[in-house]
Amino acid sequence: MKRILITGGAGFIGSHLCERLMAENHEILCVDNYFTGRRHNVAHLMSQASFELMRHDVTFPLYVETDEIYNLACPASPMHYQFDPVQTTKTSVHGAINMLGLAKRTRSKILQASTSEVYGDPDVHPQVEGYNGNVNPIGPRACYDEGKRCAETLFFDYHRQHNLRIKVGRIFNTYGPRMLPNDGRVVSNFIVQALNGDDITIYGDGSQTRSFCYVDDLVDALIRLMGSADAFTGPVNLGNPSEATILELAELIIKMTKSRSKIVNKALPQDDPVRRRPDISLAKEALDWEPQVCLEHGLEKTVHYFKSLATT
């Protein structure tokens, strides 16, 4: 049994990770400031003695004892990370410094939930880990992109300077149950709009692409990454390489929900990446991992979740 700290553990991915690690009989300390996370997401774990939930903002130091740290704290939806951009950068940068300091004191292994956004609007396709990216450092997405890039820098400097055992996973668009219905990300937006019969809002002409990974696959990748040999630090791309345009996603969700919703086009946000698809050769080789859940199957489960919210 390990003592595992999960920051951002009451959020979408974090709550699934808590669940999986609890099932493996570890002791879990879930830390969250509830900006986009909800206590409700982990309520079903709270009756177990090996689960502890703590309200804490990672921009402040934390003194606890741990063996492993998964650092997930940070809003992931553009709408939320742009709401208070200064706090977003602080969460990534001060949060990383605080969690790395904790890992150094406790000699814990620490994993950073990094992102495909470190590649910005990429001019290499599909994205490989060796590509250094194309990020606008002063645009509206920069608080997130540059915050996450700086966090990666800090992880590698702690590794080189203090011999810390680090793992950096670059997560590509992930979806599934427990996304917030109003968090502005494309999968939750389209499903909620389709179920309500509202217009499906495509930003731009819908020709931009993303590659969507179901949350169970992603959680599996994070656990494999944490368990990999100490010499393997990453960065490693974690995502589903099957790529779709946003228009194709909208059409699929309309078909699956048998919705009467109409597609409408809205302005494309500034710096919205045009194409995104992970090259996952490294994850396949180093973690023996590749996604198992296809988009249609993952969307079915996610639609089911949003339907259940509507009836509760």
Residue 74 binds which one of ligand NAD, ligand UDP, none, with CB within 5 to 8 A depending on kind?
A: ligand NAD
Binder to ligand UDP among 37, 75, 78, 120 (CB under 6 A)?
Answer: 78
What's the token pair of residue 71?
């650092």
Site size toward ligand UDP (CB under 6 A) is 14
Active-site residue, selected from the candidate residues 70, 119, 144, 214: 144
Tell whether residue 246 is a contact of ligand UDP (CB under 6 A). Answer: yes
CB 88 within 8 A of CB 81: yes
Q: Candidates 44-52, 201-209, 237-245, 279-287: pick the segment binding ligand UDP (CB under 6 A).
A: 201-209
152-159: long-range contacts, CB 8 A cutoff, minimum separation 24: 152/112, 152/114, 152/118, 152/235, 154/93, 154/96, 154/97, 154/100, 155/96, 155/100, 155/110, 155/112, 155/233, 156/233, 158/100, 158/103, 158/104, 159/233
In the complex, the smallest distance separating the C-beta of residue 132 from ligand UDP, rounded to whole angstroms, is 19
70 is catalytic: no
What's the token pair of residue 189?
């937006």
Tell whether residue 186 is a contact of ligand UDP (CB under 6 A). Answer: yes
In the complex, the smallest distance separating the C-beta of residue 242 from ligand NAD, rounded to whole angstroms, is 15
Tell whether residue 80 is a contact of ligand UDP (CB under 6 A). Answer: no
What's the number of CA atoms in the CB half-sphere (13 Å) around residue 27?
A: 9
By C-beta, is 245 or 265 nearer to ligand NAD?
A: 245
By C-beta, is 153 or 163 nearer to ligand NAD?
A: 153
First to last CA, the chain: 36
Tell whether residue 269 is a contact of ligand UDP (CB under 6 A). Answer: yes
Binder to ligand UDP among 135, 154, 202, 295 (CB under 6 A)?
Answer: 202
In the complex, the smallest distance separating the C-beta of residue 224 from ligand UDP, rounded to whole angstroms, is 23
In the complex, the smallest distance separating the C-beta of residue 180 from ligand UDP, rounded to whole angstroms, is 12
Task: Please give the residue ranges that form the binding site for ligand NAD (CB under 6 A).
Answer: 7-8, 10-14, 32-37, 57-59, 72-76, 91, 95, 113, 115, 171, 173-174
Q: Please give the radius of gyration of the chain, using alpha carbons only, rounded to the nearest integer.
A: 19
Residue 146 binds which one of ligand UDP, ligand NAD, none, with CB within 5 to 8 A depending on kind?
A: none
By C-beta, is 35 or 51 nearer to ligand NAD?
A: 35
Residue 208 binds which one of ligand NAD, ligand UDP, none, with CB within 5 to 8 A depending on kind?
A: ligand UDP
In the complex, the smallest distance separating the C-beta of residue 180 from ligand NAD, rounded to whole angstroms, is 7
Closest CA to 95 of 16, 8, 172, 4: 8
β-pair type (3-7, 68-71): parallel
β-pair type (213-214, 263-266): unpaired
In the complex, the smallest distance separating the C-beta of residue 175 from ligand UDP, rounded to whole angstroms, is 8
DSSP 106-123: HT-EEEEEEEGGGGBS-S
Tell whether residue 156 is a contact of ligand UDP (CB under 6 A). Answer: no
Give me the active site residues, please: 144
Residues of this chain that interact with ligand UDP (CB under 6 A) are 77-78, 173, 185-186, 189, 201-203, 208, 210, 246, 269, 272
